[in-house]
Amino acid sequence: MGEYGYSQRIEEMYAGAKAAEGFVCARVLADYGLGFVIVAEAGEMDAVMSGGMLADVSGIRPVAGDWVVARPAPEGGHAQITGVLPRFSCLERADTMVGWKKTVVAANFDYLIIMISMNANYGLNRIERMLSAARASGGVPVLALSKADLCADSAKLAGRAEAVAAGVDVITFSSVTGEGMAKIMSYFRKGVTCAVVGSSGVGKSTLLNRLMGYEAAKTATVRQEDSKGRHTTTYRALHLLPEGGLFLDTPGIRAFGLTAEGDELDSTFTDIKELASSCRFGDCSHTKEPGCAVLKAIEEGELEERRYLSYMRMAKELDYVRASYDRAVWQERKKKGKAIAKFSKELNKTKGK
């Protein structure tokens, strides 16, 4: 299982799960919603969640890349996944269409490769947003600028990306011409998992096919007028590459809502954080207060207005997300409190009889 990323860390987590005899440690290779493909020492097998996991609506649902506790079934049957081991890395996004509900995009990866194509998909705001989430994931972010063959000035776009991605490797490559492929392939080493995320049409499936040596994933044409593509990957899958390494493929992401976890903005906008420490007021909103070092930097040309607006938009979004989570927690506690009060009342009535 070493080629699938099994290590002493996974072994210790599985030992901590105290699984009964007959259970095995397995890794999820594909997540189809209700069904899964997992791999253990005995090989690959189809699997479903156990009744207990299905009944626990608040529990962790397995996704591709997860390490799980599973009970193999007799030949021809489906194995049952009974538990998910703790994740050492996890990329989540807030679903803006479903009350900012958190959705797991990828789990248990060593590197998080953010793919941005150098056409209409390219945007510094998009890069800053994705990096903010990536830095809070627990994996090492890598920025991969794809479709260099379609860009007239790839060096210029790469330089702009490097300016907002301090401390992050930035790779310019083309799956068509082979430019930069050696660099991106260097991350896919034996036992190392690389999660690849990005919008539809940025070339994730094309990159996977090149690394696999055959068409492991369907590709689709991209509209020339806006460079938008169709979803060719509709489920999460973990692919073992012929030369070693694991490619965690994810569906294209149209919108990426932040989840208000940790210091997502501070780690990406370190320049603004440093400026803010010099503001006259500790609770400065950086909008109108006198003595605001951030606004002063914009006036003097030290801080780009675009970057400032990107920061402010995400800060406002995070404030809203935190407030939404607080309301959800309050409502859930209120609901549980009413249930407990109702149960206590009924219990007292029973005792009085």
DSSP conformation letters of 204-230: HHHHHHHHHTS--S----B-TTT--B-
pLDDT at 257: 64
d(CA 165, CA 68): 34
Buried b (16+ CB within 10 A) or exposed e, 285-314: ebeeeeebbbbebbeeeebeeebbebbeeb
Token look-up 């692919």 returns 239
d(CA 162, CA 143): 9
d(CA 91, CA 197): 10
pLDDT at 109: 96
pLDDT at 252: 64
| DSSP H helix total and E strand total for the chain | 10, 13
pLDDT at 330: 52
- All structural domains of the chain, each given as residue ranges with its CATH number in brackets, are 2-84 (2.40.50.140), 90-249 (3.40.50.300)
**pLDDT per position in the chain (353 positions), as tens?**
889 999 999 999 999 988 888 899 999 999 988 899 999 998 999 999 888 888 776 678 899 999 999 999 877 789 999 999 999 999 887 766 555 567 888 899 999 999 998 876 788 888 888 888 888 889 999 999 988 888 888 889 999 999 999 889 999 998 888 889 999 999 999 999 999 988 877 888 888 988 888 766 554 444 444 444 444 445 789 999 998 899 999 876 666 667 656 566 777 888 999 999 999 998 888 988 899 999 999 999 999 999 999 888 888 887 777 776 666 555 655 565 565 556 456 655 655 55
pLDDT at 292: 93
pLDDT at 221: 47
pLDDT at 268: 83
Task: List the Cα angle 240/243/247 in 5-degree steps.
Answer: 35
Give the max Cα distance, the chain.
Answer: 85
Q: Running DSSP on this structure, what letter comes out for residue 79?
A: E
pLDDT at 118: 86
Q: What is the pLDDT of residues 201-212, one digit of tens each?
A: 788 888 898 888
pTM of the predicted model as reported, rounded to 2 decimal places: 0.77
5: CB partners within 8 A, 6+ apart: 27, 108, 191, 192, 193, 246
Q: What is the pLDDT of residues 308-339, one digit of tens each?
A: 998 888 888 877 777 766 665 556 555 655 65
Give the pair of three-digit tokens for residue 98: 């479903």
pLDDT at 10: 92
pLDDT at 47: 92
Rounded alpha-carbon distances, angstroms, from residue 68 to 82, 194, 260, 289: 8, 19, 27, 52
